Structure 1
């Protein structure tokens, strides 16, 4: 394996000036915002896009799921490419590709062109996101990692509620007569500025820990993920033919083949796509499964809430987006509580507390919608949405810090790719599963409110699973580092 530890940028070394490291972090977070906003922003715009371009209801799912699926499939490979060719280079390449794909989205003249451009966006984003986690891990000394990852978490959570608000405003404003197209075109100036910042502040060289790409492994894991998600998105419209179930079952066999191949490849002394030893670390494997449950429930919930608000309540895109503002405020409150010192005192308990509060908030939204009926207003939904946001803030703040605390430098590319892939695959699964439930029930004659309440029940199941799976994590990032240093298995 190749190693290059010579850093030529002030931000590359843990001992570099404080301002350089945080300037580099700001650039990374700006790129993350672009990626994460685009994962959700089209959800609000989907009905308007469908009216303008045409297409079936599956278009609504594929505008979001096509992006998320491409992103999730490519993240593992993207993380490894950073190990091989350098994180800074792959970050810049991905950011440039993402900006260009955004232009194609804004110029799309048909549903097929838009979905294809969204897939390209997702693949470009797969180069950007894992490099950010990797560079943060390498740039910051251990005593500052908590704060760095603490800034990373809020970006994810706030983007999830900021996306719908921004989309709703841009559509309503109809800037320069562009309508929904501006939700993609706005990425052009942001992308150019972020790219300039990447050239100025990011470390020019970071440690490289792999010499070649595991192409067979890449093909295996990509095939397995596609076999799982594609039938979930298309199955309802096609009437659930036998091949959809065969594909989902077959994906398990392909995942198994991928895992065995990775173990054999490492034993043969070759670089695997994903380092198998990562999954023997309880914090990392526990973080993957708990994160999968969390993102499946919450991202799917965002979709069905948006669809219920527009199709069931008749809200405009802007009104739907503004309804999420209460959740954004709650998220800020949640992170404020963490920054006030709760993280150091509670650690993993924050994840449990956050999951419970999110459950109460989501249940509150459902109960309010049920009692108020079709006349429910955003103000009536505000308490439940604020509570949901507080829970998200509490849960997300310590999430990455705890999971990645015990990951070694030579594992960070694989770890970042696998962790962010799990996050995105959970989102894709949530969109596919809850979207199928919502559209399937409404298409079968159910009232939008009834379909929304069923989808909420599925979300709550995912949050309950998150609560219990979080017990697999160490009590805190510090405990994970201590046990990792002693070569022991951390206790529950």
Structure 2
């Protein structure tokens, strides 16, 4: 996943922090835990479901609980560091994330596992913004690009290696732990990150920290939960009237949240969001584009892993390897775009081109399934999945810079946090909406191949909607104000 955070004024020292490179690797260790845990349950979900039981909605909650909690937590994650110190909050976030991973690994019921996943997301939202804020303070401007440049390969490696690692850990059944090892492996990584944070990270905080808007957090949390919960659980309960009432209440609460933020701003307070951002067509269009795009992206990744295991009978490791062309296509796409500088040269047209390429890859995947049927092999799916991944990377490469192009400097912190939170909310919606469609068709007696094809075509329609919404964006980012992610 992509994360961003605004940083306050420099508070460490005017000179570069001498332990900045060891500190960077501590921050990267925390990033890897978050990035891998965001996707690792896609491969392990069937094994978890077979062991713990529960309805198929539990599989959707494994991803949705994590991303929903992180979406809400990111609204205040950066401010916690401003108020209480970035190293202190980073240490607390890593410790909490590691402890929540242990709870996940020991969970004896679906409810305990889902609750522990939500705790992981909350502590991840506390951890990630501090690390990025510290980097901005530790490194001089001439080294900043090199420091953030390390994140690209790390993210790519996590994207490629996460599903394969999950599959291997489940199949290896180390010490008889089975799927639990995908969470327990965070313990040594987390403890090393904790030790490194205490040893290498400097303490810092903003010179003008703003107070937390707890009312705003509660309103945003309640509105998000009232939307996601009925989308996931409604299918199991045969869509009673309260599920639709809950979604309607969610809309009302989001409207109340917006009014509260505007009123707090007028009263001279510190709202979670700078409401003036929503009067900017580029920013609002970016939120719509991102929400639809990330819903499609996360939903497709989840059902593809489920199809490989439940539909085609692959073991977890083979399922992870079968999904590798999608990740490799993304990795190569990012590398090619960055090497040619296309994000800056082409701008918004690259988003449109990437959406078209991704839609073509998804269509190719559906057509391959239609032609090959239940006898489809990973090699037959490789070309279409590779194209899908390449298109995804072309959309993401310029996306954040372009969306933030018209944001003023004093709005950048709120804009970064809001955009990243919407990305996470899109992930939760992907698990809820696409997962509900997928499992609903199976429960209606549809064949796996037909179910997967229909789900892919719906996902393709979402990518087409993101293509249309992208016309609201400016043609390109202004270099001096872009914020790469």
For the criterion TM > 0.5, the same-fold answer is: yes
Conserved in 2, the CA contact under 8 Å of 1:406 and 1:480? Answer: no
Asked whether the 8 Å contact 2:83–2:205 carries over to 1, the reply is no
1:152 is displaced (CA, Å) by 4.4
Q: 1:7 aligns with which of 6, 11, 15?
A: 11
Change (3 A) 1:77 1:481: closer
Identify the range of structure 1 (183-192 vs 136-145) with the bigger mean alpha-carbon deviation.
Answer: 136-145
Q: Secondary structure at the match of 2:234?
A: helix
CA 1:16–1:471: 2 relative to 1, 3 Å: farther
Partner residue in 2 for 1:427: 427
Once the two structures are superposed, what CA deviation does each residue of 1:29-88 show, in whole Å capped at 9, x if it has no partner?
432221122122112111111222222212211222222222222221223323333443
Mean Cα displacement is larger for which, 134-143 or 204-213? 134-143
- Deviates most, 28-37 or 277-286: 277-286
Q: What residue in structure 1 maps to residue 191 of structure 2?
A: 192
Residues 77/245 of structure 1: CA separation in 2 closer, same or farther (3 Å cut): same
1:142-187 CA distance string (max 9 Å, x none): 7877776665466556544533221111111112221111100111
1:351 aligns with 2:351: yes
Measure how far apart 1:261 and its partner are: 0.8
Aligned-partner Cα distance in 2 for 1:243–1:429: 19
CA distance, structure 2, for counterparts of residue 407 and residue 140 of structure 1: 24
- Looking at structure 2, the residues matched to 146 and 399 of structure 1 have their Cα atoms a distance apart, in angstroms, of 18
* 2:372 paired residue number: 372
Alignment of 1:44-193 (within 5 A): 44-135=43-134, 152=151, 159-193=158-192
Which structure 2 residues correspond to residues 210-289 of structure 1 after superposition, within 5 A?
210-289=209-288
Residue 339 (structure 1) shift: 2.4
Q: C-alpha displacement at 1:238, in angstroms?
A: 0.6
| TM-score (norm. length: structure 1) | 0.89
What's the TM-score, normalizing by structure 2?
0.90
Whether the 8 Å contact between 1:134 and 1:416 is mirrored in structure 2 is: no
Q: Which moved more, 1:216-225 or 1:106-115?
A: 106-115
Cα distance change on mapping 1:373 and 1:4 into 2, 3 Å: closer
SS at match of 2:432: helix
> Structure 1 117/91 Cα, relative in aligned 2: closer, same or farther at 3 Å?
same
**Structure 2 gaps, min length 5:** 1-6
Q: Please state how far the C-alpha of 1:6 moved relative to its aligned partner.
A: 5.1
Rounded Cα–Cα distance in structure 2 between residues aligned with 1:87 and 1:416: 17
Aligned to 1:465: 465
TM-superposed CA distance for 1:302, in Å, is: 0.7
CA deviation string 1:365-387 (max 9, x = no partner): 11111111111111111101111
Match of 1:489 in 2: none
Contact 2:84 2:205 in 1 (8 A): no
State the secondary structure of the residue aligned to 2:457: helix
Which residue number corresponds to residue 488 of structure 1? none
What residue in structure 2 maps to residue 312 of structure 1?
311
SS in 1 for 2:338: helix
Tell me how far apart the structure 2 counterparts of residues 353 and 219 of structure 1 sit (CA, whole Å).
Answer: 39
2-structure distance, mates of 1:340, 1:73:
35
Residues paired across the two proteins, number: 476
Distance of aligned partners of 1:30 and 1:351 in 2 relative to their CA distance in 1, 3 Å threshold: farther
Q: CA offsets, 1:80-99, max 9 Å, x none? A: 32333344332222121101
Relative to structure 1, the CA distance from residue 481 to residue 75 in structure 2 (aligned partners, 3 Å threshold; closer, same or farther) is closer
CA change 1:368–1:128 in 2 (3 A) is same
CA distance in 1, matches of 2:110, 2:99: 18
Q: Give 2:418's aligned residue.
A: 418
Secondary structure of 1:236's match?
Answer: coil
Separation in structure 2 between the aligned mates of residue 468 and residue 145 of structure 1, nearest angstrom: 34
Q: CA deviation at 1:421?
A: 1.2
Distance 1:260 1:274 in 2: 11
